Amino acid sequence: MSDKTIIPLFPLPLVVCPGETLPLHIFEERYKEMIAYCRGNENQPSSLFGVSLAYNNKLYSIGCAVKIENIVKEYADGRLDVINTGVKRYKMNEIYKDKAYVRASIDYFDDEDTVQADKKLVKKALKLHKKLNELIKGETIDQNIPEDKQVSFILAHSAGFDVLQKQRLIEMLSENKRLEFLVEHFEKVLPEIERSEEIKRRVLSNGHFKNLRSSDI
């Protein structure tokens, strides 16, 4: 297994995008051990752990590796409040259950389509995203998004996606395809916002510590 890229795996009922902040409350013993392992390998490839969607008895093979940015709080009983950031997407090849936590051999990947994002499409997605957040939060928001970043991943954080929609987005291999997917989503949900408390909840939930138990695999 030494020639493979192997990372700890945290199967969760959520999806993380590259660049997205993921606060987690770590309370299970196996994941306390996993975090200790990652912290002990700081600045090494093995300091990352993978977040894969576990939903409806299915573990999705495409996920996102995250790095630990900050340990906000360590409790006396070993629990942790941890801020993590999505780094890069991967495809899972094989699962190993030789430790308390699960590990997986993975291949990292990026977009196949290297064409520069359509500026008109970016502008439209930004405009609709701004309108969505203004409707939900009741305030004007600043959208200072660097042009060299993948805008689709940044907007997906607060787009009001359900987990399957967000999973579909991170599996796409084209920035323009993701932007088209976002625009289609915004154009569909904006007329429904006033009567859709669930979409409001999804958008507003970003940034809170998630007290999540991993799905057994």
- Core vs surface per residue 153-174: b (16+ CB within 10 A) or e: bbbbbbbbbebebbbebbebeb
Which two structure tokens, joined as six digits, stand for 31? 């994941």
Residues 94 and 124 in one domain: no
Domain count, the chain: 2
Which two structure tokens, joined as six digits, stand for 138? 């009741």
Out of 73, 108, 143, pick the residue that ends a domain: 108
- Which pLDDT score, from 0 to 100, does residue 191 have? 85
Span 144-159, pLDDT tens digits: 676 657 899 999 988 9
Q: What is the mean pLDDT of the chain?
A: 88
Q: Is 212 a domain residue?
A: no
Find the mean pLDDT for residues 55-78.
96
Q: Are 72 and 79 in contact (CB under 8 A)?
A: no
Q: Does 2 score more than 60 pLDDT?
A: no
- Which pLDDT score, from 0 to 100, does residue 95 have? 96
- Which pLDDT score, from 0 to 100, does residue 43 have? 73
Residues 68 and 140 in one domain: no
- Which pLDDT score, from 0 to 100, does residue 137 have? 74
Residues 102 and 174 in one domain: no
Q: Are 104 and 96 in contact (CB under 8 A)?
A: yes
Distance (Å, whole) CA 14 – CA 54: 7
Q: Where are the alpha helices (DSSP H) in the chain?
A: 29-40, 119-137, 151-156, 163-171, 175-189, 197-204
Span 161-197, pLDDT tens digits: 999 999 999 999 999 999 999 999 999 988 887 666 6
Residues 10 and 104 in one domain: yes
Q: Does 99 score more than 50 pLDDT?
A: yes
- Which pLDDT score, from 0 to 100, does residue 8 have? 96
Distance (Å, whole) CA 10 – CA 63: 10
Domain that holds residue 85: 6-108
Residues 48 and 93 in one domain: yes
Residues 100 and 134 in one domain: no
* Region of 138 on the Ramachandran plot (φ > 0 left; ψ -120 to 50 alpha; else beta): left
Q: Is 55 a domain residue?
A: yes
Q: Is 114 a domain residue?
A: no
Q: Is 213 a domain residue?
A: no
Out of 60, 86, 108, pick the residue that ends a domain: 108
Residue 143: half-sphere exposure toward Cβ, Cα within 13 Å: 23
The CATH number for 91's domain is 2.30.130.40
- Which pLDDT score, from 0 to 100, does residue 1 have? 45
Q: Does 212 score more than 60 pLDDT?
A: yes
